[in-house]
């Protein structure tokens, strides 16, 4: 059985290391996972070329990264409620009625925070640095974690309308607002940074590092400049990557994923010390 991660660029992806480690741990020698560069606009042809036989003799699942998540949403024969909520598909699973779309970024972010902060963690007011697609999925994750108020801090607040609308669709109906990136906000329980490391000025790092829960989705460079000085609960981009990959593995294989083996593979690929859950 074959699986792969698709995107552009794709050479940096850690997904093959994570999934192959899971196959090795569970002695699934007949499964493989590779990476393939697929440019914007090319997903439909790539998937069509895989064929449509059922039961599948080869291809079982596809992980989809940028810039293909919207194309995957449109291509899927059906999509999960959480993928519809996020408006993007990062997981395609072959079924008897075609490719089914799902999104593991949202539940992966929730699982990553709960692992580090504890299952009992509840957020009242969350902040997100950035206002793009990742800000939307992590903002929805904050809503899943209980946030009734979510503040987006954006370099271009005027372009945040779609992200605000998306987060506002959550069943809990959080109050979503947007401010300039350099704004100060009081009473925040958890902050998620979705901006590049170079956008985190010393002033922003000093302002947000003391937040009780600090989540930086970026893992390059390592360690994150923000997480390296955060004294409270730190949630990394690797945590997110591992947890969303665990969910993908289970969707592809219908088997429980070996979380620790996958985490260890990610740490090895990044050349970092072990990150023990808080």
Tell me the CA distances in angstroms from 269 to 17, 245, 264, one per residue in order. 7, 15, 9
Q: Is 268 a catalytic residue?
A: no
What the block records as the tokens of 155 is 């370099």
Q: Which of 2, 69, 173, 198 is catalytic?
A: 69
CB 219, CB 244: distance < 8 Å: no
Find, among 52, 60, 53, the residue nearest to 23 by Cα.
60
CA atoms within 13 A on the CB side of 119: 0
Q: Burial, 197: exposed, middle or buried (Cβ in 10 Å; 0-12, 13-18, 19+)?
A: middle
Tokens 């600090």 correspond to 214
How many CB atoms are closer than 10 A to CB 153?
Answer: 27
> Annotated catalytic sites, by residue?
69
């Amino acid at each position: 059985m074959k699986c792969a991660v698709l995107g552009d660029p794709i050479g940096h992806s850690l997904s093959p290391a994570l999934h192959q480690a899971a196959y090795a741990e569970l002695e699934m020698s007949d499964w493989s996972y590779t990476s393939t560069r697929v440019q914007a606009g090319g997903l439909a042809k790539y998937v069509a070329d895989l064929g449509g036989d059922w039961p599948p003799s080869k291809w079982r699942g596809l992980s989809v990264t940028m810039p293909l998540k919207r194309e995957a949403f449109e291509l899927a024969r059906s999509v999960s409620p959480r993928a519809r909520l996020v408006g993007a598909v990062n997981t395609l699973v072959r079924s008897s009625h075609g490719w089914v779309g799902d999104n593991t970024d949202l539940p992966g972010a929730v699982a990553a925070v709960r692992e580090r902060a504890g299952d009992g963690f509840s957020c009242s007011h969350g902040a997100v640095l950035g206002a793009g697609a990742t800000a939307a999925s992590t903002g929805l994750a904050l809503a899943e974690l209980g946030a009734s108020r979510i503040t987006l801090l954006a370099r271009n607040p005027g372009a945040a309308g779609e992200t605000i609308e998306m987060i506002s669709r959550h069943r809990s109906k959080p109050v979503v607002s947007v401010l300039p990136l350099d704004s100060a906000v009081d009473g925040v329980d958890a902050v998620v940074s979705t901006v590049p490391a170079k956008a985190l000025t010393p002033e922003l790092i000093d302002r947000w590092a003391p937040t009780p829960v600090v989540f930086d989705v970026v893992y390059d460079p390592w360690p994150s400049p923000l997480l390296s000085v955060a004294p409270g609960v730190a949630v990394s981009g690797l945590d997110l990557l591992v947890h969303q990959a665990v969910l993908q593995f289970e969707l592809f294989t219908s088997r429980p994923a070996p979380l620790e083996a996958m985490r260890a593979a990610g740490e090895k690929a990044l050349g970092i010390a072990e990150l023990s859950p808080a």
